[in-house]
Amino acid sequence: MRGEDAITRALLAAADRFYGVPGFPVTGILKKTGADSVINEKVAVEYALGDSLSGRRAAVILKNVGLNACADPFVEATTQGLIAGVVLVAGDDPAAEGSQNAQDSRYYGELAEVPVIEPGPHNVFEAVEEAFQASESFSRIAILRLTPDLLNAEVTPGSAERKANKGTIAPVNLTMKGRVERAGNMLGPMCDWSAASPLNCMNGTTALVGAAGPVDKKAHPDMASRIITVYPPPAGRERIHEIQELGRPFFREHRNVIPPAYKEPERREDRGFYRSFCNTCPFILAIHILDELSSLLPQSPSPQLPV
């Protein structure tokens, strides 16, 4: 089965709604899933988050540079949380065959502190379902990184049982600092998830990341490792001496990710808060000026309602 068809089937089985913007190399997936083509990637993510709050899983299908356009709601979702899974299906183009640059979407995983999964040709179906489960487990969007090498390759047909979980929204009594601390506290559990993921195979000193390959067994007889949960990196990476990946050296640069120490999230009742404007708020003067100006304007008569 061709990789594009496998990804399409896996997405149709795992998600309820689909949004996206056409672009190489994911236009075929957009068409085959029947995704709604929206005006831009930011709107697509906002629609998907709305579905998530309603309990529906959603996939957003876009090309690599589309992540730039949707960065605002994408990153913010990590702080605010979500309910049903949301997965950004990012089509990267390492060779710049049909894109204006060779941007590597995996770096957004570090920026937004979200799981990044890069399927291999042997576990496409499992990887797609795992991306949605990770999104729900950690209450944030997950990235599913695809490349032309995988989409055009012959992959192993399969299936994965859908097991929908339920994420959580940040408690309303947290300050913004507290919400950021709550989101950061999940990096430790995310590292544990990556370390225990059966998607990874860590048996050799040379490893392929995602769809990198094919493997030359004569040149690399010990190449039995393949890394799928790219961020956070899985356990056992210290034994790997050579890494082959498509695009920039993301995994090589993030092999030593250490989760921060737990911080008790700051709550409004602990910090203190005003139910109105703070005494030192710089907007108070502007509000007083507008109030004085409004008193000088002629008052419009109240509209007469029909009897």
Report pLDDT for 35: 97
In this predicted structure, what is the pLDDT of residue 305? 59
Q: Structurally, what CATH architecture does the domain formed by 3-253 represent?
A: 3-Layer(aba) Sandwich (3.40)
Strands 229-231 and 116-117: antiparallel
Quote the crossing angle between the two packed helices 176-184 and 71-80, to the nearest 10°. 90
Q: Which pTM does this prediction carry?
A: 0.87
Regions of the chain where pLDDT drops below 50: none
Segment 157-167, tens digit of pLDDT: 888 899 989 99
The pLDDT value recorded for residue 201 is 87
Distances (CA, A) of 176 to 136, 168, 262, 275: 21, 16, 17, 16
- β-pair partners for 227: 209
Reported as a single tens digit per residue, the pLDDT across 275-305 is: 777 778 888 888 889 888 888 877 766 666 5
pLDDT tens digits, one per residue of 75-104: 999 999 999 999 999 999 999 998 888 999
**pLDDT for residue 221:** 52
Provide the 3-class DSSP secondary structure of residue 20.
strand
Instruction: Give the model's pLDDT for residue 306.
Output: 65
18 φ, ψ to 5°? Answer: -135, 135
Strand segments (E) across 99-153: 116-117, 142-146
The position carrying tokens 């299908």 is 61
Instruction: Tokens 């949960």: give the residue.
Output: 229
- Rounded CA separation 166/56 (Å): 10
